[in-house]
Structure 1
Amino acid sequence: MTLNIGIIGCGGIANGKHLPSLQKVEAVNLVGFCDIDIDKAHLAATEYGVESCEVYKDYKQLLANEAIDVVHVCTPNISHKEITVAALDAGKHVMCEKPMAKSTEEAQAMIDAAKRNNKKLTIGYQNRFRPDSQYLRKVTQRGDLGDIYFGKAHAIRRRAVPTWGVFLDEEKQGGGPLIDIGTHALDLTLWMMNNYQPASVMGSTFHKLGKKEDAANAWGSWNPEDFTVEDSAFGYIKMSNGATIMLESSWALNTLDEDEAKCTLSGTDGGADMKEGLRLNGEDFSKLYTTNVELDNKGVAFYDGEEDDEAEIEAQCWIDSIMNDTEPVVKPQEALVVTQILEAIYESARTGKAVYFN
């Protein structure tokens, strides 16, 4: 069995992650490439497509191709829901890049479309497939940390503002570092805690350093007039069982404590963090201990291959879930909760009040 895949959005995330990873999956043919900039679609097709692949400017034309089984949505956040729902209604399985959507309402519409069409839907949270994430997931599932009642989700950059594409456009993206990289850290933290029932959220967002002219930045100075999203955001999340999560995210912050797509966990029987590699801590025989885990690519919970690249493993596991009719590793219901919490942080920041969930 071979799956034919179409790519909608042939920009940075498609070329940097999806296309090179999918090209290494044996049961895949890359047959359709779509971008509003048709030149980008042609370039991607030339590098990654099969000989008979097609190029499109309108995603609806790609979806009309009945030979395509799976669609990867790699477009700005504003169009995730529209394209994903249309693809599912067209009978395609869908991987949508993170974040799932700009709002909970949009995310729910995506899930509803997957259910009514009996098609698979997943979201591109590739950090779950890192060796440290896989090891820590096994530790938490086995119960080594006990009841995990406190977590931190880390997504802090000192000066690394993405200045290309629409990253600085609030309307098209829905936000800045919180929805861009904070989403990865929150997904990891919730997954490790296996806790998807938020009770309340308090949040703060800041538009401070984005106003600076000629700022130091990894990808060159930004234009302050274009910087319409927050430059940092922080959330305090209380779960229904009383567990608490603190989320920190920034593209630009005056700090030396930089961490991205990492989490810290504290439980009744032990703790863990990804701050300097993967470290486990606890108490044994009335003594405290810290264990630094030596990681390689063996022992991944749902993959036995040799790749050590999380994007390649993500692609293989996603295709396997379709071929074997199993649940994808990143379930859409889990991604919806991430979107729900991010949306609540933004709402709390706007209103100055806590957001409560039923």
Structure 2
Amino acid sequence: MKEVIRVGIIGAGGIARDVHIPNYLKQGSKVKVTAIADIVRGNAENLSDQFNIPHVFTDYQEMLETVELDVISICTPNKFHAAATIAALEAGCHVLCEKPPAMTVAEAEKMAETAKRTGKILTYGLSYRHTAEVDTLKRFIDADELGEIYAARVHAIRRRGIPGWGVFTNKELQGGGPLIDIGVHMLDTALYLMDYPEPDTVFGVTYQKLGNKKGVGLAGQWDWENFSIEDMARGMITFKNGASIILESAFAANIEKHDEMSVSVMGDKGGADVFPLKMFQEKHETLIDVTPSYLPLKNNYEQQIERFVNCCLTGEQPISTAEQGVKLQKIINGLYESADRGEAIKLS
């Protein structure tokens, strides 16, 4: 078992600065953040100075060839996930790639195939899986407290939360809008709690009603004149085992709450709302609600990085796998294709 893992970062944006690097550093002597690459050298140099990272590159291929690394975090726009992940795996590194897996199903499949062939870990930054709420509910589900989970609802909706920074409103670089950015978190959480069933059919619709005009920006002022993504996506997913998910995701919608990230699951022995966690059952001829009185307070991003590091040190498999990433990508791309074609899409 390795005693120290050497980490390289590809992409020097906010997710690297605020999430990946600080949480690697929290792992203490087990981890050394060794190198960072970004096409804008100044961005990489800023993080190098801030976090005392010794090696800076503008070309991640050069970084992979020059510096001996064990682990890579992919923190680029979505368009570059696949190429950077595959290069890192081929260089003999384990990879934590930010969500979503990729832009296309073919890319996600190639990423998974490369991980399998190289024998390296590939996992994704689906951080809501690592919350105390999900950890707790998963234990109840595994103990059959909810029975067969046959239905779920997922919401990732903001009133006016279009990001006013980065490339989040650029379809060419991101592949889509709220569905692929925030909706993917809640969708993955539901799928994880449902044991990632095989998807069968999807039906999706997308809207661009608010993002392409000037308005109040609760997440900064976005570039409404170059807004090329959907501002809302809705859909239904059915699975081969008969289960189904109803999904809603929006960066901007005329709703009361400023922000809602929620998952509800329903089984034949009980159900649950996840954020915050509350379970619903019928026992002894009585309808009861069960609410935890205490949950651990560890940040989900810290938990994600800690678990990934431990997997890299021990060889254990992460709870988010490359194969699950392929299923997730199939559903996302299927919903977008369905919305474009105006009809349900069969995925299997």
Q: TM-score, normalised by structure 2?
A: 0.96
Q: Distance in 2 between matches of 1:89 and 1:261?
A: 36
Matched, 1:33 2:36: yes
Aligned-partner SS, 1:211: coil
Q: Distance in 2 between matches of 1:62 and 1:21?
A: 21
Q: Provide the alpha-carbon RMSD of the alignment.
A: 1.3
- Structure 2 matches for 1:22-101, cutoff 5 A? 22-26=24-28, 27-50=30-53, 53-101=54-102
Match of 2:121 in 1: 120
Alignment-mate amino acid for residue 248 of structure 1: E
How far is the alpha carbon of 1:16 from its aligned partner? 1.1
Q: Distance in 2 between matches of 1:153 and 1:259?
A: 13
Aligned-partner SS, 2:156: strand
- Deviations, residues 303-328 of structure 1 (Å, cap 9, x unaligned): xxxx7111111111101001111101
How far is the alpha carbon of 1:114 from its aligned partner? 0.8
Match of 2:210 in 1: 209
How far is the alpha carbon of 1:90 from its aligned partner? 1.1
- Deviations, residues 181-201 of structure 1 (Å, cap 9, x unaligned): 000000000000113301100
Match of 2:320 in 1: 330
Q: Distance in 2 between matches of 1:106 and 1:350?
A: 20
How far is the alpha carbon of 1:259 from its aligned partner? 5.3
More deviation in 65-74 or 22-31?
A: 65-74
Alignment-mate amino acid for residue 87 of structure 2: A
Q: Distance in 2 between matches of 1:294 and 1:42?
A: 45
Q: Distance in 1 between matches of 2:66 and 2:121?
A: 18
Task: Tell whether the 8 Å contact from 1:181 to 1:260 is kept in structure 2 after alignment.
Answer: no
How far is the alpha carbon of 1:20 from its aligned partner? 0.5
* Aligned pair partner of 1:9 in 11, 18, 29: 11
Q: Distance in 2 between matches of 1:172 and 1:28?
A: 31
- Deviations, residues 35-65 of structure 1 (Å, cap 9, x unaligned): 1111111111122235xx1100111111113
Sequence identity percentage: 37
- Structure 2 matches for 1:269-308, cutoff 5 A? 269-275=269-275, 277-297=276-296, 308=298
Match of 1:303 in 2: none
Unpaired runs of 5+ residues, structure 2, are none
Q: Distance in 2 between matches of 1:161 and 1:205?
A: 15
Q: Distance in 2 between matches of 1:71 and 1:122?
A: 11
Alignment-mate amino acid for residue 31 of structure 1: T
Matched, 1:146 2:137: no
Unpaired runs of 5+ residues, structure 1, are 298-306
How far is the alpha carbon of 1:100 from its aligned partner? 0.5
Match of 2:220 in 1: 220
Q: TM-score, normalised by structure 1?
A: 0.94
- Deviations, residues 175-226 of structure 1 (Å, cap 9, x unaligned): 000000000000000000113301100000000011222x112123323221
Match of 1:167 in 2: 168
How far is the alpha carbon of 1:146 from its aligned partner? 0.7
More deviation in 116-125 or 286-295?
A: 286-295
Aligned-partner SS, 2:66: coil
Q: Distance in 1 between matches of 2:23 and 2:251?
A: 27
The number of equivalent residue pairs is 345
How far is the alpha carbon of 1:33 from its aligned partner? 0.8
Q: Distance in 2 between matches of 1:130 and 1:209?
A: 32
How far is the alpha carbon of 1:261 from its aligned partner? 4.0
Aligned-partner SS, 1:281: strand
- Structure 2 matches for 1:176-325, cutoff 5 A? 176-213=177-214, 215-257=215-257, 260-275=260-275, 277-297=276-296, 308-325=298-315
